[in-house]
Amino acid sequence: MNRTIVESFKLYIKGMAMGISDAFPGISGGTIALILGIYEELISSISNINYSLFIIFQKEGVQSFWKKLNGKFLIILFSGVLSSLFISLLIADFLIDNYPILIWSFFLGLVTASIYVILKPTNIFNLNKSAIQGWILVFISAIISYLLTSIPQLNSLDESMFFLFFAGFIASCAMILPGISGSYILIILGLYKTMTNAVENFEVNKILVFSTGVLFGLITFSKVVKWGFQKYPNKILILMTGLIIGSIHKLWPWKLNEINVSPLSLNENNYIIESILLFIVGFFLIFLIEKNNRKQNIEKK
């Protein structure tokens, strides 16, 4: 797809938004990609990376290889992801430690609005048999997501290079799936601090091994998701929305010892007014983004 300079800049910003979300345990880059309308192109482009692609490079040259890869899209998008991810990891660490209630209120607004936006193109709001089946699928996937995001953190795990590769592979699956945060997977595996420290101290060996695991995971899992979108597009959207719903409990701003509680049960400042305002900002921001994407799609047609 040919993109103008303005469209390329917007794609770069979308990549930055994905990088920011992947840095925070609780919201995935896949969710943001789905909201921003680039999820299917992202999955399709990554899944094109295989052996046959390099045969094309050998026989037909760089131009055919680059077109088949959708290289411009991937380069611009992941430049945005990487340029924001490493900085965001450090910022996320600071915000979560110092302003957890405020940051989770904003993300809760984002994700809550995204549930309706993602479901809207499906037939789930119609009163028919297909819609009932859709709600059953939402319920099942939400339960699975809730159980996965309720797994307690593992302790006393080694930090071998093999384990870092494995963690990157698993985290990439979470990054590409809306609802399950790759950063939260790192928390479960006990590696969130390890990787934020690696970025802060520029530990190249850990970053490279982890990133290699992420790359292999993205290529592998994207093929499964692409197949799903080709065969059952509505059901895949419904399934992914269920994953988001099931993980939304992780974004509840008020917690005691990692347990969700009422804001009134907190002795210190519970920031209720500020939290409501940030929730509203996040909520309506999604609808503004969705409206802008819809306008762009109409103009392209």
Length of the chain: 301
Nearest to 87 by CA among 22, 182, 160: 22
Write the DSSP symbol of residue 265: G
Residue-by-residue pLDDT tens, the chain, 301 positions: 567 888 889 899 999 988 887 777 666 777 788 778 888 888 888 888 888 888 888 888 888 888 888 889 999 998 998 888 778 877 877 887 888 899 889 888 888 888 888 788 787 888 787 888 889 999 999 998 888 777 766 554 566 788 888 888 888 876 777 666 677 777 767 777 788 888 778 888 888 999 899 888 888 888 888 888 888 888 888 888 888 888 788 788 898 877 888 888 876 778 899 999 999 998 888 888 777 766 665 555 5
Coil vs helix vs strand at 87: helix
Total domains present in the chain = 1
Sorted by sequence, the CB contacts under 8 Å of residue 235 that are 6+ apart come out as 134, 137, 228
| Structural domain range at position 150 | 5-300
The whole-model pTM stands at 0.71
Nearest to 114 by CA among 299, 266, 293, 289: 289
Coil vs helix vs strand at 259: strand
- Residues 187, 157, 188: CA angle, nearest 5 degrees: 20
Sorted by sequence, the CB contacts under 8 Å of residue 142 that are 6+ apart come out as 242, 243, 245, 246
